[in-house]
Amino acid sequence: MLRDINLSIRKGEFLGIIGPTGAGKTTLCLALIGIVPQFHGGRFFGRVTVAGLDTLENPISLLAQHVALVFQDPETQLIANSVEDEVAFALENVRVPRDEILRRIPWALEAVRLGGMEKKHPSELSGGEKQRLAIAAGLALQPEVLVLDEPTSQLDPLGSQQVFATVRELNVRLGITVILVSHASEEMAEFVDRVALLSSGALVDVDIPSRIFTHMDLLDQYGTRPPQVTSFYIELRDRGFEPPSIPVTLEDATQVYEDMRPQVEVKPPAPQPRGTEESSGPILLSARDVEYVYPDGTKALRGVSLDVREGEYLVIVGQNGAGKTTLAKHFLHLLEATEGQVLVNGRDVCNLDVSDLARRIGFVSQNPDNQIFNATVEAEVAFALRNLGISGTELAERVEESLYTFGLEDYRAGHPLSLPKGDRARVVIAAVLAMRPDVLIFDEPTTGQDYCGAKRILDVTRQLHQAGKTVIVITHHLYLMPGYADRVVVMGKGIILLDAPIRKAFHETALLRSTYLAPPQIVQFAQRIALRENLSPPSLGQDYALSILTSEELAACITSRKDNA
């Protein structure tokens, strides 16, 4: 899992760790608190010293007083009976006085936007809220070393930025050494002091962000990506421009643009006529004034109305706890509307069984482990087909087809839970797709995936869409969606805030911010350029002067003044 790692981290340093899935990032984190090898066993050579303590010679419980570890999956690390108890648990174990515990609980919860939820049971929180709670429990310890293993993978973009900012503040103000694993290149570039790139258990490189994230060959080779503004300037350079430097943060990118202004001109893209992105197929799914109240009294949906037409590719975005998953579950009758009506193919779901609906609507939920219950990958894929009454040669053929589509042939006899998380997600998608449903709902399919893994899954959704399926993706990862989704539904606190084509939705910065979302970095950068150049929206067809969605699109808008002259 780890090979010849030689790494020194200074006291008070903020180190980011990047790398593809299976690179050994989590193993390295576990080694820093002694769980590897003390708990997991295995062969261990070399020495790890953290805060002056050898991780082999000191028990984990002692190391934990110096090193706080926030795990990747919040589901597995919440053990207390209430939010405040979760934060207090480790503090109690390291003998923090009660008064101090009482002071730290609100501080840590405010830092992750969970203030006021002290008495809630962790199981009543949404996935993102659980992760924020896990982070709060780590923050509250104010340890010498804070290790966070992909702590923001399930968070909404502003939540993710806030966590980075909070951790940075702790790092600067309290001198806590921070080691953070993440795929979020933009935040990494902005907040960390150094970036370590891991691959196949080896330390490939460790350097400052401006060197790591501009080393494109290295990033490409190891399946990671640079910040979007970096991609933009590299694209410009490839087009023959000569930016004075390749920036890795939004602020630096803005400054570099200022430096380049005398030489470049911005030509907004040609307006696209309205309506081309809208589907005109029959309505497949419909929610009408749907309200839903959870048994604990939480109002999750407040009069939501939404129509999804056949053949659409729709993305639902919104803050953690906005009601996205709750809404999706209504279409499968997993939840029944407290008020309002939900229709599938014009029929009220109240009159339909979950199993009947599941044959038409494939649902791939957030956590693949909750959907695995067979002993082999092959049996997992065949399960749904048997329920459909398929057997014999057809069953074998369809299982084969699904396994092949997802590159799972070699794992057919293996236990699904023995595969890495990315592969487990593919097993579940393969099992759902085997039913050949008309509609597919993917709930946070890219969570916990590296860039390549996320792209692979989204490519599958595009193939399905191109094959005529209706696709709904629920996600926080806005930057991944251009090129896939046509329509964006923005939700916040149980209501639909916006339902618009992606080019419009991604530029509604203020509205997105109201639900803790942020446009992709390149969209923010384009808006800065448009403001600087006083570009006004064209009179017809576009809502924004530079309604671009990708670095390549923005680079295509930049022309040379010299050439133009």
Min dist. Cβ of residue 166 to other proteins (A) = 20
Q: Is 400 exposed, middle or buried (0-12, 13-18, 19+ CB in 10 A)?
A: middle
Q: Considering only CA atoms, which of 433, 437, 434 is closest in space to residue 457? A: 433
Closest contact distance (angstroms) between CB of 345 and other proteins is 17
- The residues pairing with 491 across neighbouring beta strands, listed in sequence order, are 318, 496
Contact predicate 482/550, CB 8 Å: yes
Nearer Cβ to other proteins (208/354)? 354
| CA 98 – CA 388 distance, rounded (Å) | 58
Output helix, strand, coil percentages for the chain, rounded to the nearest 5. 40, 20, 40
The 3-state DSSP class for residue 307 equals strand
For residues 460 and 429, the answer to whether their CB atoms sit within 8 Å is: yes
What is the number of alpha carbons within 13 Å of residue 423 lying toward its C-beta?
Answer: 17
The string of DSSP letters for 407-452 reads T-GGGTTS-GGGS-HHHHHHHHHHHHHTT--SEEEEESTTTT--HH
**Bridge partners of residue 501, in order along the sequence:** 487
Shortest Cβ 78–other proteins spacing (Å) = 8
C-alpha triplet 85, 173, 246: angle, nearest 5°: 115
Going from the C-alpha of 60 to that of each of 31, 66, 383, 386, the distances in angstroms are 10, 10, 42, 47
In the complex, minimum distance from the CB of residue 271 to other proteins, in angstroms, rounded to a whole number: 43
The least distance separating other proteins from the CB of residue 83, rounded to whole angstroms, comes to 10
- Count of CB atoms within 10 A of residue 56's CB? 14
> What SS3 string covers 146-169?
EEEECCCCCCCHHHHHHHHHHHHH
Q: Toward other proteins, which CB reaches closer, 221 or 387?
A: 387
Q: Which is nearer to other proteins, 49 or 93 (CB)?
A: 93
Contacts with other proteins, residue ranges (CB under 8 A): 33, 35, 39, 59-62, 64-65, 68-69, 71, 76-77, 79-82, 84-85, 88-98, 101-102, 105, 119, 121, 123, 137, 295, 332, 334, 353-356, 358-359, 363, 365, 369-375, 383-384, 387-388, 417, 431-432, 435
Task: Output 119 or 173, the one with its CB closest to other proteins.
Answer: 119
Task: Specify the residue, 85 or 187, whose C-beta has the smaller distance to other proteins.
Answer: 85
Token digits of residue 21: 């899935």
CB of 458 to other proteins, least distance (A): 21
Structure-block tokens of residue 19: 């790398």
Identify which of 156, 155, 72, 169 has the alpha carbon closest to the alpha carbon of residue 111. 169
Q: How far is the CB of 532 from other proteins (least distance, A)?
A: 48
Residue closer to other proteins, measured from CB, 84 or 156 = 84
Look at strands 145-149 and 202-207 and give their pairing: unpaired
Query: What is the smallest separation between the CB atom of 427 and other proteins, expressed in angstroms?
Result: 12
Contact between 355 and 411 under an 8 Å Cβ cutoff? The reply is no
Q: Which is nearer to other proteins, 413 or 417 (CB)?
A: 417
How many CB atoms are closer than 10 A to CB 273? 9
Minimum distance between the CB of residue 377 and other proteins, rounded to whole angstroms? 14
Least Å from the CB of residue 362 to other proteins: 8
Query: By C-beta, is 78 or 287 nearer to other proteins?
Result: 78
Indicate the residue among 39 and 404 with the shorter CB distance to other proteins.
39
Q: Which is nearer to other proteins, 177 or 249 (CB)?
A: 177
Evaluate whether 20 touches 223 at the Cβ level (below 8 Å).
yes
CB of 266 to other proteins, least distance (A): 48
Minimum gap (Å) between residue 82 Cβ and other proteins: 5
Question: With contact defined as beta carbons under 8 Å apart, do 146 and 176 qualify?
Answer: yes
Q: Which long-range contacts (CB under 8 A, 24 or more apart) does 243-252 make?
A: 246/210, 246/214, 247/210, 248/189, 248/209, 248/210, 248/213, 248/214, 249/186, 249/189, 249/190, 250/186, 250/190, 250/521, 250/524, 250/525, 250/528
Q: How far is the CB of 331 from other proteins (least distance, A)?
A: 12
Quote the CA–CA distance of 247 and 298 in Å, as a whole number.
44
Residue closer to other proteins, measured from CB, 149 or 252: 149
Which residue, 35 or 491, is less far from other proteins as judged by CB? 35
C-beta closer to other proteins: residue 122 or 321: 122
